[in-house]
A and B are shown apart, each in its own frame.
Chain A
Amino acid sequence: MIWVGWRQQRWETIVAAAILAAIAALLIPTGLSMLSSYNNDGLNSCAGALQGGACDAAARSFIHEFDGIGNLIAWFTLVPGIIGILLAAPFVTDLERGTYRLDWTQGITRRRWIAGKLGIAVVTAIVAAGVFIALVTWWRTPLVRVQGRMDNSVFDSEGIVAIGYALFALGLAAAIGAIWRRTVPALVSAFALYFAVRLFVDTWLRQRLVSPLHATWAVNGRGPSLDKAWILSQVPTDQHGHALSLTVLNCSKAAGATCNTAVPTKGAVQYFQTVYHPPSHFWPLQSVEFALFAGAAALLLGLAALWTARRVA
């Protein structure tokens, strides 16, 4: 069955490898040039805090140079999902075309067939996602040293979450395909759902997976170290951390110093409250998000397996 599963997945595996090769072809040259830029600009020695002076300027120009391509690469975060969905195609096509009837009437049980096909797809998805992560993480090393990796568009191709994405997409496509049994509509709708879920997680759920830190700090005092942190919100507050009302804010902003002094003790923008995830939250956030996606993947794959085993003739 292992051979059969691999052979039936051959085309999809090649396409996935080609996608990764294309990404590598883009990333490796630009990555090398970025690395040399980084070293030449002396940013190497700036590693760590970037406050003040030459380091700051150098960092800014470095970011400016590579931010464009960085944003482009950020879209690649969809690639593990695309590969996952692609790898579900052999499973669904077999069901659509009826060729599973050929396999099931040789000598193996349908359980072994399902386990074999989905198992091989899972392994391939993990490997592909791993290669993807390795490529992108390597490429982004200089940028991460300068900017950190907590930003939303960076986070999802670092660490391990992309493996979860690939498995989730695979499970989604397999489950929809097992029920619908038409390849193209199943894969397309799986992608649409995957995209929606990713969007939801990226924009709303991720920040809530781990409790963020709250810090209230005085304007002319020392704030928390927000270097390379993921800032969720930063609002002017009073010393107890309560947000200031608009009138007070308007006064503070509009009249400048005059307004400042006209409104006595209460009102002046003297404190900020920042809600943020420090870099130390990177792995906790990664783990929870990975667990969510991988867990969902397991459920979906289980559904696909059970549905096919029980309902199909």
Chain B
Amino acid sequence: MSDVPVLRTEDLGKRYGSTWALRDCSLEIPAGSITALLGPNGAGKTTLLQLAVGLSRATTGQLEVLGLSPWADQETLLPRVGFVAQERPLHRSFTIAETLKLGRVLNTTWDDDLAVSRIESLGLRLSQTVGKLSGGQQAQVALTLALAKRPDLLLLDEPVASLDPLARREFLGTVMEAVAETGMGVILSSHIVADLERVCDHLVILSHARPLLVGPLDELVACHRLLIGPRTDPATVARVHAVIHESHTDRQSSLMVRANGHVYDTCWEQHEVGLEDVVLAYLGQRHGPAERVLEEAVR
């Protein structure tokens, strides 16, 4: 595995008609990382993944995947990137064998033995029709298709949405197993925070078409704090630390901050937070700077 970042964007933007599905996206994801792409529906997760795999073309900005341009170098890049689209599309009338044949025929690099052994280890028969499989099984077949080309990067767009917890666990287990074997990078989008917490070491939070937070997951979560104290104006705190989210009752204030060093202010009770709290705080920003700018642009 080389050191080339898995994904690198600079002011990346995509517009459909008059709506921006993604904008001002500048981020870098290092090689070999497993990245969570989090955000509500319509935040731009699918857009970013589709741009990365060359399904759509950027309106503005630059995008490099494994050092290549997805639109211009598509034929060189596709063998190295595995992709499972949202709702894991498969041809329902095909058998599993025919689905694998499709992969073999349409791909330049293809490990058929790997594909067949994966299917067998899932307890599936090649003669089964895809449309008759359960959701979890279909997800595994789609994943097999993506893994059998031995990619350097795996992009998964909400792969486990609408799957039961067991199927989710098995699917992610398969992905992790493949990562342990090959060291490939993974970018997976989801809104199930618990799954991502176990699996990911990198984080990208998108909301309203913009990235809000990007970086190594453990570090980011560790530098956020929940401050609880008597009702005050957060201005003093805001001078040093980034206040992500604030809520007040008549007696009490709670602030979610991204700490810039230690929080010395003793009137605040400090609590460590988990990933879910951080994500909710960022996504719940009602009058955050990003939101305001967006509202003005729309007007």
Q: Which residues on A are within 8 Å of B, measured CB to CB?
A: 1, 3-4, 7-8, 10-11, 97-99, 101-109, 313
Name the B residues within 8 Å of A313 (CB-CB).
50, 55-56
Question: Would you list which residues of chain B between 92 and 118 have a CB under 8 Å from chain A?
Answer: 93-94, 98, 101-103, 105-109
Using CB atoms, name the residue of chain B closest to A116.
Answer: B106
Name the B residues within 8 Å of A8 (CB-CB).
91
18 further interface pairs, Cβ-Cβ under 8 Å (given A98-B86, A99-B91, A109-B74): A1-B105, A1-B106, A4-B105, A4-B106, A7-B102, A8-B91, A101-B55, A101-B85, A102-B145, A103-B106, A104-B55, A105-B54, A105-B85, A106-B103, A107-B75, A107-B149, A109-B75, A313-B50
3 closest A-B pairs (Cβ-Cβ)? A313-B56, A106-B106, A107-B107
- Shortest CB-to-CB span from A285 to chain B, Å, is 42
Q: Out of A98, A101, A102, A105, which one reaches B78, CB within 8 Å?
A: A105
Asked if B53 and A3 make an inter-chain contact with CB atoms under 8 angstroms apart, the answer reads no
Asked if A98 and B85 make an inter-chain contact with CB atoms under 8 angstroms apart, the answer reads yes
Q: Out of A10, A11, A97, which one reaches B89, CB within 8 Å?
A: A97
User: How far apart sit A8 and B90, CA to CA, in the bound complex (Å)?
Assistant: 12
Given known A7-B94, A98-B85, A313-B50, contact A103–B102 (CB-CB < 8 A): yes
Range class of the B interface residue count: 20 to 34
Judged by a CB distance under 8 angstroms, whether B83 is at the interface is: yes
Enumerate 19 A-B pairs (CB-CB under 8 Å) in ascending A order: A3-B101, A4-B105, A7-B102, A98-B87, A101-B83, A102-B89, A102-B145, A104-B55, A105-B53, A105-B54, A105-B55, A105-B81, A105-B83, A105-B85, A106-B107, A107-B106, A107-B108, A108-B106, A313-B50
Judged by a CB distance under 8 angstroms, whether B215 is at the interface is: no
Interface string of B21-55 (1 = CB under 8 A from A): 00000000000000000000000000000100111
Using CB atoms, name the residue of chain B closest to A10.
Answer: B93
User: How far apart sit A3 and B101, CA to CA, in the bound complex (Å)?
Assistant: 9
User: How far apart sit A163 and B275, CA to CA, in the bound complex (Å)?
Assistant: 63
Name the B residues within 8 Å of A3 (CB-CB).
101, 105
Name the A residues within 8 Å of B53 (CB-CB).
105
- Shortest CB-to-CB span from A87 to chain B, Å, is 16
Judged by a CB distance under 8 angstroms, whether B79 is at the interface is: yes
- Shortest CB-to-CB span from A100 to chain B, Å, is 8
Q: Out of B90, B108, B109, which one reaches A99, CB within 8 Å?
A: B90
- Shortest CB-to-CB span from B115 to chain A, Å, is 12
Using CB atoms, name the residue of chain B closest to A2.
Answer: B105
User: How far apart sit A105 and B90, CA to CA, in the bound complex (Å)?
Assistant: 12
Using CB atoms, name the residue of chain B closest to A8.
Answer: B91
Question: Would you list which residues of chain B between 136 and 175 have a CB under 8 Å from chain A?
Answer: 142, 145, 149
Asked if B89 and A106 make an inter-chain contact with CB atoms under 8 angstroms apart, the answer reads no
- Shortest CB-to-CB span from B156 to chain A, Å, is 12
- Shortest CB-to-CB span from B274 to chain A, Å, is 34
User: How far apart sit A104 and B74, CA to CA, in the bound complex (Å)?
Assistant: 10
Name the B residues within 8 Å of A97 (CB-CB).
89
- Name the residue in B81, B83, B109, B142 with the highest tally of chain A Cβ atoms < 10 Å from its Cβ: B83
Given known A3-B105, A98-B87, A101-B85, contact A107–B50 (CB-CB < 8 A): no
Name the B residues within 8 Å of A104 (CB-CB).
55
User: How far apart sit A223 and B200, CA to CA, in the bound complex (Å)?
Assistant: 92
- Shortest CB-to-CB span from B139 to chain A, Å, is 13
Name the B residues within 8 Å of A99 (CB-CB).
89-91
- Shortest CB-to-CB span from A52 to chain B, Å, is 63
Asked if B105 and A102 make an inter-chain contact with CB atoms under 8 angstroms apart, the answer reads no
- Shortest CB-to-CB span from A248 to chain B, Å, is 67
Asked if A106 and B56 make an inter-chain contact with CB atoms under 8 angstroms apart, the answer reads no
Name the B residues within 8 Å of A106 (CB-CB).
78, 102-103, 106-107, 145, 149
- Shortest CB-to-CB span from A88 to chain B, Å, is 17
Name the A residues within 8 Å of B81 (CB-CB).
105
Name the A residues within 8 Å of B83 (CB-CB).
101, 105
User: How far apart sit A68 and B120, CA to CA, in the bound complex (Å)?
Assistant: 61
Name the B residues within 8 Å of A108 (CB-CB).
106
- Shortest CB-to-CB span from A263 to chain B, Å, is 74
Using CB atoms, name the residue of chain B closest to A94.
Answer: B91
User: How far apart sit A56 and B91, CA to CA, in the bound complex (Å)?
Assistant: 61
Q: Out of A4, A10, A98, A101, which one reaches B102, CB within 8 Å?
A: A4
Name the A residues within 8 Å of B93 (CB-CB).
10-11
User: How far apart sit A10 and B108, CA to CA, in the bound complex (Å)?
Assistant: 25
Name the A residues within 8 Å of B103 (CB-CB).
106
